[in-house]
A and B are shown apart, each in its own frame.
Chain A
């Protein structure tokens, strides 16, 4: 598993913005930028369907809660 570069090419593919669990805040793209600042309601995590999961061999979920992939 690799760290995910916080690049524009990657950000536009992140699906956190469509996620029902996403905290209501401007921060996003959590596997690269780290955990959010608000409590996370677990209503499902879309990371498994995200193209970056395959690209970077990610296996985690709820990065908005647990922090950046490392």
Chain B
């Protein structure tokens, strides 16, 4: 067992993963016709989110919004410049197409995320009131205008939903 700062980081990662895993399990339970099981997964997911937020705050991971934007720009940039290109190359080498397209879809969206955050940091107080949409199939993100089909996964427009 590491020191408490390390434990907070591990707990934050674990709780964050549990949140996403439970939401995926909930979706699957809905698909399989178990709405009451799905609810229990959503309940646990919500609780894990609160745990994750608490751990993050206690470890000093929440700064000013400008600093949080800087950290986010760095993270998104690392993902689409280094991490995903490496992962895509490795998936290609292994002939794992499903993984390749999963990485590719994320990679395309991360480019947009970096720009979205960079503009927010640059304009902060004078930020325009853009509307944003996320493809519910692949996560591709759009500003103000949605194409007929997602440019990454070709899902139809109806699957690309606005985030308030």
Contact = CB atoms under 8 A, between A and B. Distances in A.
B14 interface: no
B139 to A, nearest CB: 10
B112 interface: no
A4 interface: no
B97 A28 contact: no
A29 B98 contact: no
A17 B154 contact: yes
Given A18-B156, A26-B137, A11 B151 contact: yes
Contact of A28 (B148, B153, B159): B153
Contacts of B98: 25-27, 37
B147 interface: yes
A16 interface: yes
Nearest to A16: B154
Contacts of A14: 149, 154
B148 A13 contact: yes
Interface in B122-164: 137-138, 147-156, 159
Interface of A: 8, 11-18, 25-29, 37
Given A26-B102, A28-B153, 10 more contacts: A12-B148, A12-B150, A12-B151, A12-B154, A15-B154, A17-B137, A17-B153, A25-B101, A26-B138, A29-B154
